[in-house]
Amino acid sequence: MPSLICLTITAKTLTEAQRIADVNAPFVDLIELRADHLQKSEYASIKDFPKNVKTPCILTVRRKIDGGVFEGSETERLDLLSNLSAFAYVDLESDLTAPELEALAHKSGVMIIRSAHYFEPQEAKIVKTLDTISKNANEIPKLAFLPKDLTTVAETFVLSNELKAKDRIICVMGKLGGVSRILADRLGSYLTFTSPKELLENTSAIGHFDPKKLIDVYDFKNINSDTALCGVTGFPLNVTSSPEVHRNFYKAENHNAVMLPIPAENIEEALTFAETLKFKGLAVTIPHKEALLNYLDEADEAVKTIGAANTVVFKEGRRIGYNTDWIGFTKALKHFLKTDSVQGKCVAILGSGGAAKAIAYALHKEKANATIFARNIAKAKAIADKYGFSSAPLSEFTSDCRPDIIVQCTSVGLQGQSTTENDPIPQYEFTGKEALYDIIYKPETTPVMARAAKSGCRVENGFSMLIEQAREQNRLFFT
């Protein structure tokens, strides 16, 4: 049976909890009422909650030691849990000895979820303890733990195949564990926990998604043993639209596939993770595009020339690197400018990172004239010299330079607020004749874009580049 989607509700009132349950009913199979978050005035009505929603419910009253917020005595907590008879499930901790509650659950036909939580980083071998959590064969054992690293997450998938418990719940918590929520079925997990958008901050530390995103972006209900796995990796990877963009390609091309977010501090760990889970490929973003070159078995001509890769395909035990950024940029820029050629155009490239390298390569192929402006003048010069371009410090970029096109490739502006600190070229005065293409796409309008538009310039963010480079990645993954 495919893994179920459980909505964890951490509302303060039962009225709010019911509203959230009703709104999310089309997307979930179970509701977990986290009664430890309720106001005390709501306690007397807990038993009525399951009757008022259309979805089977889990009753949980979590102690602080287990990641909850209940502040009363243990006697008071057990008293709240005694409302379990109206619920389909009750969550009891592995160290809780409560024979009266267990007897009541058995008499009422309520399934016990026996849970163990570990909030200090653990190695993957902790998964083997899952078979020892239940007090009897009728309970569903649940293990929730914080992984030591990404390798731990990969090993968890391998070790889960050795578990005896048929019905079990495995939750790898935190940002690194997000993939375990999406691939719950691959872990043999009975369910995966989610949270409603308006309450995500209550569970952000343990890595919940909202259920609609789980279905719409990750196609959770259709993930099976035949689903092809792809991923996007970077760090901290707080912002990425790649899973959603690639999902649209999968739907259009009828691929049984999913793109997973894989935050990794180093690219080697991400590659090992992907190979362990048998990924088809990875989209690679900041800060790993240049480091990736050291771990490839093969690379295309663009990667060798640019010195950065944003795509790796796993094929017959080999890692093959590609750069699709330059292709995506070329198509996006021409569409933005409504032209078939930028030959001879004067272009200012701001920045000297992996994206700037790909864009310089693209502009060279298009026979444009470019200058690389960057804080690191040595890196800017290295890129410029490769293509016969000019280079200069970013501080020297002024309206006297008179570019036709400005391509903003720095990370300045990601924060979104319109301040001097979030504008990479505060000294530049727009004339209204320039076209500004900012490769940042979240926020949709960066401070420098807003300032340029106010001066009458044509502006566009990098979402179009993301779409086009992802289209090429998708082709590489599935050919």
pLDDT digits (tens, 9 = 90+) for 139-188: 999 999 999 999 999 999 999 999 987 899 999 999 999 999 999 999 99
Q: Does an H or E element contain 166, and which?
A: none
Q: How far is CA 370 from CA 80, 301, 412, 435, in A?
A: 69, 21, 21, 14
Q: What is the pLDDT of residues 71-126, one digit of tens each?
A: 999 999 999 999 999 999 999 999 999 999 999 999 999 999 999 999 999 999 99
The answer, yes or no, to whether residue 291 has pLDDT greater than 70, is: yes
Over residues 301-321, mean pLDDT: 96
Q: Where are the domains of the chain?
A: 4-222, 228-323, 326-462
Q: What is the pLDDT of residues 388-407, one digit of tens each?
A: 999 999 999 998 999 999 99
Domain at 228-323, CATH class: alpha beta
Q: SS3 of 314, please?
A: strand
Question: Same fold for the domain at 4-222 and the one at 228-323?
Answer: no
Query: Long-range contacts: 384-393, Cβ < 8 Å, 24+?
Result: 384/360, 386/305, 386/360, 387/360, 387/361, 387/363, 388/364, 389/360, 389/364
Whether residue 249 contacts residue 317, with contact meaning beta carbons closer than 8 Å, is answered with: no
Whether residue 134 contacts residue 165, with contact meaning beta carbons closer than 8 Å, is answered with: yes
Spatial separation of the C-alpha atoms in residues 300 and 305, rounded to whole Å: 9
- 197 among known catalytic residues: no
Single-letter amino acid code for the residue at 121: P
Spatial separation of the C-alpha atoms in residues 34 and 17, rounded to whole Å: 10
Give the pairing type, strands 281-284 and 311-315. Answer: antiparallel
- Give the Cα-Cα-Cα angle 121, 229, 152 (nearest 5 degrees): 15
Structure tokens given for 401 = 């330079």
Structure tokens given for 355 = 């994206």
Whether residue 281 contacts residue 476, with contact meaning beta carbons closer than 8 Å, is answered with: yes
Q: What is the DSSP letter of 332?
A: H
Write down the pLDDT at residue 298.
97
Q: How far is CA 177 from CA 75, 204, 222, 348, 354, in A?
A: 34, 12, 20, 41, 28
The answer, yes or no, to whether residue 420 has pLDDT greater than 80, is: no
381-392 burial by CB neighbour count: b if 16+ within 10 A, else e? bebbeeeebebb
Write down the pLDDT at residue 354.
85
Percent of the chain's residues with pLDDT above 90: 91
439: Cβ contacts below 8 Å, ≥ 6 apart: 329, 355, 359, 407, 408, 409, 461, 462, 465
Structure tokens given for 243 = 């899973």
Single-letter amino acid code for the residue at 398: T
Write down the pLDDT at residue 203.
86
Greater model confidence, 449 or 165: 449
Over residues 239-267, mean pLDDT: 95
Structure tokens given for 419 = 């301040």
Q: Per the residue annotation, which of 289, 331, 345, 357 is the catalytic one?
A: 289
Q: What is the pLDDT of residues 22-59, one digit of tens each?
A: 999 999 999 999 999 999 999 999 999 999 998 999 99
Write down the pLDDT at residue 419.
55
412: Cβ contacts below 8 Å, ≥ 6 apart: 421, 422, 423, 424, 448
318: Cβ contacts below 8 Å, ≥ 6 apart: 297, 298
18: Cβ contacts below 8 Å, ≥ 6 apart: 49, 52, 53
Spatial separation of the C-alpha atoms in residues 7 and 31, rounded to whole Å: 5
| β-bridge mates for residue 257, sequence order | 228
Mean pLDDT, the chain, rounded, equals 95
Spatial separation of the C-alpha atoms in residues 29 and 55, rounded to whole Å: 7
Over residues 303-325, mean pLDDT: 96
Confidence of residue 286 (pLDDT cuts 50, 70, 90): confident
Over residues 306-317, mean pLDDT: 96
Record the pTM. 0.90
User: What is the dihedral angle through the alpha carbons of 176, 177, 183, 187, rounded to the nearest 10 degrees?
Assistant: 130
Q: What is the pLDDT of residues 6-26, one digit of tens each?
A: 999 999 999 999 999 999 999
Q: SS3 of 469, please?
A: helix
Given its phi and psi angles, is residue 373 left (phi above 0), alpha (psi -120 to 50 degrees) or beta?
A: beta
Structure tokens given for 166 = 């048929």
Structure tokens given for 290 = 């240049």
Q: How far, in whole angstroms, is CA 13 from its chain's centroid? A: 30
Which spans in 197-310 are helix H? 211-216, 242-253, 267-276, 301-306
Over residues 412-436, mean pLDDT: 82
Write down the pLDDT at residue 204.
77
Percent of the chain's residues with pLDDT above 70: 99
Single-letter amino acid code for the residue at 118: Y
Write down the pLDDT at residue 136.
87
Confidence of residue 207 (pLDDT cuts 50, 70, 90): confident
Whether residue 266 contacts residue 290, with contact meaning beta carbons closer than 8 Å, is answered with: no
99: Cβ contacts below 8 Å, ≥ 6 apart: none
Q: Which CATH superfamily is domain 4-222 in?
A: Aldolase class I (3.20.20.70)
Q: Which CATH superfamily is domain 326-462 in?
A: NAD(P)-binding Rossmann-like Domain (3.40.50.720)
Q: How far is CA 318 from CA 205, 224, 299, in A?
A: 36, 25, 11
Write down the pLDDT at residue 417.
53
Over residues 275-300, mean pLDDT: 96
Query: How many angstroms separate the most distant Cα atoms in the chain?
Result: 83
